[in-house]
Amino acid sequence: MPLRLYNTLTKRVEDFVPRDPSDISFYSCGPTVYDDAHIGNFRSFLAADLLRRWIESPLCEIGTKQGTHKGPRRVTHVMNITDVGHMTDDGDADGGGEDKMEAAARRLESQFEKQKAEAKKSGTSHAAAALDPSDPYQIARFYETRFREDARRLGLKLALEADKDPTLMPRATESVAGMIALVARLIEKGNAYVVGAPGSRVVYFRVKSFPDYGRLSGNTLDRLKEGEGGRINAEHQVQKEHPADFLLWKEDARHKMKWDSPWGAGYPGWHIECSVMSAARLCLTAPPVVGGGKGPVGGSSSVSLAALTIPDAAPIIDLHSGGEDNIFPHHECEIAQSCCAFNQRPAGAPYAAMWFHPRFLMVEGTKMSKSKGNFFTARDLFAKGIEPAALRLELIKTHYRSNANFTMQGLTDSQRMVDRWRRVAESAGEQKATQLQGADLPVLREFAQALHDDLNIAGAMAAVNSWVGSIAAPTADDAAVMRLIDGVLGVLDLERPQAARSEIGIFLPGTTPDPVVIAKLEERRAARAAKDFRTSDRIRDELLALGYAIKDVAGGRVEVSRRL
């Protein structure tokens, strides 16, 4: 059975049929770099990474009009970095509120000053010491760097590739010229219009020029006209032709991040950036395919965004992903502006042949929230000693169309699973595997069958765990099979934090031999030697209050870990 996925646009599970099965284009909406990405963000990014890895696997089969394509194939995966234009009221198609980068500048100005003062007091350096929090560009680069670090540690293949090919992770601020060209093209074609006097001009997309608006999300023009769901902001309606018309460009001399345009100095709307960055990389500048592929859908890389034309209502790219919160308004608006700009016949055009939307992540059964104390970034968990492999597996092991429930017990279970798989993968030693028989092996056949069925990761992992449990003494062949499977799961080769040792303590990943902790451990050892167990228990409780859990181990040492 070839790969079948749920298409958000058609509301059904269907065969994934790309334009060219040997050369697949994939675009994922990436982070807005005004803060560290949290584990809910990474759930979406890693679901896309899992899909990408599966498509590239030699075990994956893809349907075509001529039959089944069994590979090899290449996926060109692009993810944008949003560093301008994403407003705080992102549920509003008008892009209400203020730019998230400017909001971050104000938030961080006081926060960084406090952190610098604490660092100076303790005699340590602060990571943002050289950062000017009033500069949104510096903030963007700071958090972008941290996002890339976290993504690499979690095995996001795209982040690893982007180190060598930066065009795979384009920045919105470096793509504004393309956005201006695309807005001008939409105005010329009658799909957008300018309102307001010089100094306060706004360019809106004319939703009535695209009758399919609402097909992705179900937010049809009639429903939006009624203001259902609070999506329409009354204060912006006076100048608009239709309440759902959305922002493409806003003239605003006060905005810190602004560019000259035919409609005055200002900034782009959030939605326009992805239309530009996806087409620019996947349709115009994609390198030619080795071995006779078709190359960019638009033909020569000399074609500009202003001239790129897609025949009839054909898809512009093969795959598009993002969290379910991107469905409306962001992806709905993307479809409208992209199809009107690039397709010869916009009506019925899907922009992407397949729309892939992972659902939300809960934490311990509730919505993640800083006020509830259950809000985690990836680096929060790394600092507590959580292995990247365990975190990656915990975030991908629930089917993408189900809400995932992140728990600390789940993390522990994921770590145990990774350890079991590693024992199989590392069992070969100097032995060499015989020739694998591909999906003829039951475990590979079951693994492939599950992932072909709408990326059924639970079924795939069940097949792997059943097989691992049946192995008495792993062989080189078993190790080779495990490595083939891990080419999709992507956990075995991730960084493994090492424990640090002192004379008295073994400090597990996430901890360091802190002098304060060591002093308390020595005091506790002396108390235990004197059989003063009350004092020993008091010191243990004091360490717990500081966030450390301790465990006595062989050799008279104490194992120190972060309390989760």
Predicted confidence (pLDDT) at residue 237 exceeds the cutoff of 80: no
What is the DSSP code string of 34-98? TSPPBHHHHHHHHHHHHHHHHHHSTT--EEETTEEE----EEEEEE-BB-SS-EEETTSTT-EEE
Q: Which residues contact 139 (CB under 8 A, 6 or more apart)?
A: 33, 34, 101, 104, 105, 108, 131, 133
Residue 290, pLDDT > 50, answer no
Which whole number is the average pLDDT over 436-458? 89
Is residue 95 pLDDT above 70, yes or no? no
Query: Which has more confidence, 561 or 354?
Result: 354
pLDDT value of position 547: 82
Instruction: Please choose, from the candidates 26, 334, 329, the residue with its C-alpha nearest in 3D space to the C-alpha of residue 168.
Output: 26
CA atoms within 13 A on the CB side of 347: 3
What's the pLDDT tens digit per position in 244-266?
Answer: 999 999 999 888 889 999 999 99
Q: What is the pLDDT of residues 341-383, one digit of tens each?
A: 999 999 999 999 999 999 999 999 999 988 888 899 999 999 8
pLDDT (tens digit per residue) in 118-168: 666 656 555 555 678 778 889 899 999 999 999 999 999 999 999 999 999
Q: Mean pLDDT check: name the lowest of 38-42, 112-116, 495-499.
A: 112-116
The answer, yes or no, to whether residue 438 has pLDDT greater than 80, is no
Residue 461 banded pLDDT, cuts 50, 70, 90:
very high
Nearest alpha-carbon partner for 337 in 284, 273, 241, 283? 273
Mean pLDDT, range 262-274, rounded to an integer = 94
- Give the containing element (helix H, strand E) for 481: helix 476-489
> What is the chain's mean pLDDT, rounded?
87
Beta strands 62-64; 67-69: pairing state: antiparallel
> Which pLDDT value is given to residue 427?
81
pTM equals: 0.86
Rounded to whole angstroms, the Cα distance separating 69 from 60 reads 9
pLDDT for position 507:
84
Q: What pLDDT, on a 0 to 100 scale, did the predictor assign at position 115?
A: 66
- Reported as a single tens digit per residue, the pLDDT across 321-335 is 999 999 999 999 999
Q: Kindly tell me the burial class for residue 150, based on how many C-beta atoms sit within 10 Å of its own C-beta (0-12, 13-18, 19 or more).
A: buried
Cα–Cα dist 213/397, whole Å: 34
Provide φ and ψ at 111, rounded to 5°: -65, -45
| CA–CA distance, 358 with 204 (Å, rounded to integer) | 29
Band (pLDDT 50/70/90 cuts) for residue 435 is low
Q: Does residue 530 sit in helix, strand or coil?
A: coil
Pick 324 or 286 by higher pLDDT.
Answer: 324
For 48-86, write each residue's pLDDT tens digit.
999 999 999 999 999 988 889 998 999 999 999 999 866
Alpha-helix residue ranges (DSSP H) falling in 154-234: 157-162, 176-188, 221-225
Reply yes or no on whether the pLDDT at 297 is more than 60.
no
